Chain A
């Protein structure tokens, strides 16, 4: 059974810092990996999707990497801002794109 773990569970940083969120998964037979952002009481916003054949994806200040063989992904956020404060969820997809989620990292960026 696929299990997804995210470390750290919570992170507090001052504005302007670069930071890394980690995601690991137990079964490397995935179709893709997605990073989502979730604001309190809200739904999920897709940030980046990395196909299983890719190594990384970038969008603005965000960069996500994928190492399938070791079962790891990182989400790098450059020059963090208070508006980046949210919960970040990592999810891997199985057959028929059924997603298995981690428990998330709660990020707080202090101004």
Chain B
């Protein structure tokens, strides 16, 4: 079955760039028509959608984060990635990658990776 696994540094300094990767197993990231998403959750708080990448390569981002976010794909590694620039403490959160068959549905999630922004 399809599985997702997030990876990346657990600690990022303020003003630097947060970079995470989601590795997809059990299916090719470039086959079918799927949406590949990044979602985050600060400790004890709610979910926040960051953005998505469609199989075609098109992207959509949360407006308030758009100037700092890039989601890209590496089909050779069957991975998609998140880059968030100029991070602050407010970006400290559990980061999840998730797949959806439509833009509004997240049916497969990774286990999440915790990222702390601190000097």
Whether chain B is bound by chain A comes out as no
